[in-house]
Amino acid sequence: MVFVVFVPSMAQQADTAKSKQLDDVVITGQYGENSLSQSVYRVKVIGQKRIEQQGAVNLRDLLNNELNMRINNDPALGSGLSIQGINGQNIKIMIDGVPIIGREGNFIDLNQLNLNNIERIEVVEGPMSVSFGTDALGGVINLITKKSYKHQDQLGAKIYYENIGQYNLNLFTSIYLNREWRLEVNGSRNFFEGFAQNEDSRVKLWKPRTQYFGDLSISKKYSNSSLRLTASILDEKVTNRDSGTITPYSAYGIDQYYYTRRASTAVFYERKLFSNHSLHVVAAYNHYRRIVNTIRKDLVTLEESLIPEAHLQDTGYFSNIMSRGTFSRNKDKAKYNYQFGYEATHDQFNGSRIANGSQSITDISGFASMELKFFQRLLVRPGIRLTYNSKYQAPLIPSINIKWDIRSDLSLRASFGRGFRSPTLKELYLSFTDPAHNIKGNPDLKAETQNNYQVSLTHQHRMQDQMLKMDVAFFYNEIFNKIDLVLLNSTNVEARYSSISDFRNVGTNVTAEYVAPDYAVSLGYALIGINNTFTNLLESDKYFTTQEYRCNARYLIRKIKTQISLFYKYNSRMQLFQYNINEGQVRTGFIQGFALFDLTAGRSFFKQKLAIQTGIKNILDVLNVQASLVTGPHAPAGNNAAVAMGRTYFCAVQYQLSIDKR
């Protein structure tokens, strides 16, 4: 597990010599706000300061540096993520506990997750099915939005420039209306002109992208409760151009536009009840629309016209209604605490590429867990979830987590968790056929089930203004009836979702971190071995391994009040597989190892009102890496893989004005 690097603000750093390091506060999977060191789960926290120091524009930029996580890039669908070697539909990404919808290729495009309105990110690796239901077999990522309860009005702006043609603008305000009400508005425009090694080429390996983001929050605090209403929207256009056709009589291009709109509205209600009890309820409606238009563009007059072929045009709609409520007892130093709750979701998919034009699925669950403190240092948390699924017989899902504080500075955590995931509507009913794709859903799919085992040992030695933390962790996963896209016909790349694979992986993480007032160093190593039904057909040595190395560091130059930050991660060679179900053969491929190395510098001015962050990303100038890509349903075979856009330079400037209204 990657360690949390506690990075105080510039103002706090000047005073840390007389203060103790404080734990991060976490909420994901907890009974209430809890300190990181006291959580029975192994939670990874990435704070706002770290986001700023890394110059991360979106979630893809940020997670590129995390251990146990690998980013895969698809030219048309965007960037997906794997955790502990588990990817796609098995990773649940949420904003304030509300799931994000709109998966293409079975993953959420990380490029669409803007970080301007994010306070911190909490990651729990391994199955969280008891707490968060289906799609949480590989882990959960919870993006926590910024919330202010200060008696202040705030107004600010942020501009971001990167020399590959990235131009971003963010405006935000927070208005303290009276003693109870607060209004917060955040709006952004991100523009990327696309990237290709040949700047004059119409064809861009990294596609041009224009994004608009909007977030609105109205909140009211009472003496023992709070109510918050939120609305957010993403509007995106991605352009995919061909090389163009030039004849003596005409010059034209066949281009595709991908239009994405994701909108979410939610209501959050929290109330403190009788002694140490609380009620949390959220209800949300999420809507996702994706339009694909293929046009003929006259390269002389620039006129555009839709190509009148049905398979080249598509519009799909996906909607989700969800509600989740918990009742918790969370008393410090109590012999027992508990939580029970419900979760209900209804998904609806409409479009020409879904069977019968419309399909839906409903999931209703009840769950409960209890934290038992048998001795002063031993905490045990059993949990269980019972689910009704409108299409599948869901099993009873148990879990147990144990935290043993062997000494005040040495903790052992161990866990066992079951997981369950019903197939998605796309996996069941998709019918996607055009000149480049032939992908079929499968209504006979089986649901995925999982067993996960984890154990970790953490040593944390605190001094007055310093901290040394060391951690070693092991995990083992079994996923049965794992759903994969398998080839049916290699000639026209016909593929179908199938419950063909039993998946296993095993891994270890070793990390060490030292934090002092003026500097910090974090080192990490991860090893993951993967085995599934496909690899059994290849050779007796069933596990194919991949390794990761990470080194992050920061140093505060007090004389000029500037913090220098370094981010380095190496990903070793990764094995790829594509199974042909008719031939009974496995095609193998690989992506060669590569390293990403960033160096940034930041400073604040005018009593923290103005902040400037600048730096160099991808110092080693990585573009494409050697690869042997197997022919798949979304891309042809190839001998290189797109990893990054070469060495780039960025600068971010933010100004924030606060007016005290007390």
What HEC string does 438-467 produce? EEECCCCCCCEEEEEEEEEEEEEEECCCCE
Over residues 41-60, mean pLDDT: 93
Over residues 396-424, mean pLDDT: 93
Identify whether the C-beta of residue 326 lies closer than 8 Å to the C-beta of residue 363: no
Q: In what order do the strands lie in the sheet containing 139-145?
A: 43-47, 118-125, 139-145, 91-95, 98-99
Sign of CA dihedral 434, 437, 438, 441: negative
- Asked if the structure places residue 4 within a domain, the reply is no
Q: What are phi and psi of 322, to 5 degrees?
A: -140, 155
Q: What are phi and psi of 301, to 5 degrees?
A: -90, -15
pLDDT category at 511 given cuts 50, 70, 90 is: very high
Measure the CA–CA gap between 19 and 41, rounded to whole angstroms. Answer: 27
- Asked if the structure places residue 3 within a domain, the reply is no
The three-point CA angle 603-609-615 to 5° equals 30
Identify whether the C-beta of residue 70 lies closer than 8 Å to the C-beta of residue 60: no
DSSP character string of 343-403: EEEEEEEEETTBGGGEEEEEEEEEEEEEEEEEETTEEEEEEEEEEEESSS-PPPEEEEEEE
- Asked if the structure places residue 477 within a domain, the reply is yes
Identify whether the C-beta of residue 506 lies closer than 8 Å to the C-beta of residue 530: no
Identify whether the C-beta of residue 441 lies closer than 8 Å to the C-beta of residue 355: yes
Does position 215 have pLDDT exceeding 50, yes or no? Answer: yes
Give the pLDDT score at 374: 83
Pairing of strands 245-246, 225-240: unpaired
pLDDT category at 502 given cuts 50, 70, 90 is: confident
Does position 56 have pLDDT exceeding 90, yes or no? Answer: yes
Give the pLDDT score at 584: 64
- Give strand pairing partners of 296: 254, 305
Taking only the tens place, the pLDDT of each residue in 547-585 is: 999 999 999 999 999 999 999 999 999 988 777 666 667
Give the pLDDT score at 75: 66
Give the pLDDT score at 484: 84
Over residues 61-65, mean pLDDT: 95
Give the pLDDT score at 17: 34
Give the pLDDT score at 581: 64
Give the pLDDT score at 13: 39
pLDDT category at 78 given cuts 50, 70, 90 is: confident
Q: Percent of the chain, pLDDT > 70?
A: 91
Write the CA distances from 270 to 19, 160, 340, 422, 494, integer angstroms: 32, 36, 15, 30, 50
- Who contacts 197 (Cβ-Cβ below 8 Å, separation ≥6)? 205, 623, 646
Does position 21 have pLDDT exceeding 60, yes or no? Answer: no
Taking only the tens place, the pLDDT of each residue in 228-286 is: 999 999 999 999 999 999 999 999 999 999 999 999 999 999 999 888 999 999 999 99
Write the CA distances from 253 to 195, 247, 306, integer angstroms: 18, 12, 12
Over residues 388-396, mean pLDDT: 92
Q: Which two tokens stand for residue 399?
A: 């879990």
Does position 449 have pLDDT exceeding 60, yes or no? Answer: yes
Does position 536 have pLDDT exceeding 80, yes or no? Answer: no
Does position 7 have pLDDT exceeding 70, yes or no? Answer: no
- Asked if the structure places residue 246 within a domain, the reply is yes
Helices (H) then strands (E): counts for the chain: 6, 40
Give the pLDDT score at 316: 94
- Asked if the structure places residue 202 within a domain, the reply is yes
Pairing of strands 494-515, 437-440: parallel
Give the pLDDT score at 494: 78
Q: Which two tokens stand for residue 635?
A: 């891309």
Taking only the tens place, the pLDDT of each residue in 91-112 is: 999 999 999 999 887 889 999 9
Give the pLDDT score at 5: 35
Kindly state the helix (H) or strand (E) to which residue 426 belongs, with its residue range.
helix 425-429
Q: What are phi and psi of 534, to 5 degrees?
A: -65, -45
Structural domain total, the chain: 1
Does position 76 have pLDDT exceeding 80, yes or no? Answer: no
Q: What are phi and psi of 36, to 5 degrees?
A: -60, -40
540 burial via Cβ count (<10 Å: 0-12, 13-18, 19+): exposed
- Asked if the structure places residue 2 within a domain, the reply is no
Report the Cα 264 to chain-centroid distance in Å.
Answer: 17
Identify whether the C-beta of residue 329 lies closer than 8 Å to the C-beta of residue 277: yes
The closest alpha carbon to 43, from 56, 31, 30, belongs to 30
Asked which of 312-321, 387-396, 628-637 is least confident by mean pLDDT, the reply is 628-637
- Asked if the structure places residue 23 within a domain, the reply is yes
CATH of the domain at 377: 2.40.170.20
Does position 2 have pLDDT exceeding 60, yes or no? Answer: no
Measure the CA–CA gap between 432 and 622, rounded to whole angstroms. Answer: 34
Q: Percent of the chain, pLDDT > 90?
A: 66
- Residue 442: which region, alpha, beta or left (left: phi > 0; alpha: psi -120 to 50)? beta
DSSP character string of 470-535: EEEEEEEEEEEEEEEEEEEETTTTEEEEEEEEEEEEEEEEEEEEEE-SSEEEEEEEEEEEEEEHHH
The closest alpha carbon to 524, from 555, 568, 554, belongs to 568
Identify whether the C-beta of residue 528 lies closer than 8 Å to the C-beta of residue 509: no
Q: Which two tokens stand for residue 535?
A: 């690899």
Over residues 57-81, mean pLDDT: 89
Identify whether the C-beta of residue 450 lies closer than 8 Å to the C-beta of residue 477: yes
Measure the CA–CA gap between 466 and 517, rounded to whole angstroms. Answer: 7
Is pLDDT larger for residue 540 or for residue 30?
30
Over residues 216-221, mean pLDDT: 94
Place of tokens 């009211």: 220
Mean pLDDT of the chain: 89
Does position 133 have pLDDT exceeding 70, yes or no? Answer: yes
The closest alpha carbon to 213, from 145, 113, 119, belongs to 113
Does position 20 have pLDDT exceeding 60, yes or no? Answer: no
Q: What are phi and psi of 422, to 5 degrees?
A: -80, 145
- Asked if the structure places residue 285 within a domain, the reply is yes
Taking only the tens place, the pLDDT of each residue in 171-212 is: 999 998 877 899 999 999 999 999 988 888 899 989 999 999
Write the CA distances from 324 to 295, 298, 344, 371, 530, integer angstroms: 43, 51, 7, 21, 34
- Who contacts 204 (Cβ-Cβ below 8 Å, separation ≥6)? 194, 195, 196, 239, 241
Range of the domain at 100: 10-660
Report the Cα 307 to chain-centroid distance in Å.
Answer: 36
Does position 338 have pLDDT exceeding 70, yes or no? Answer: yes
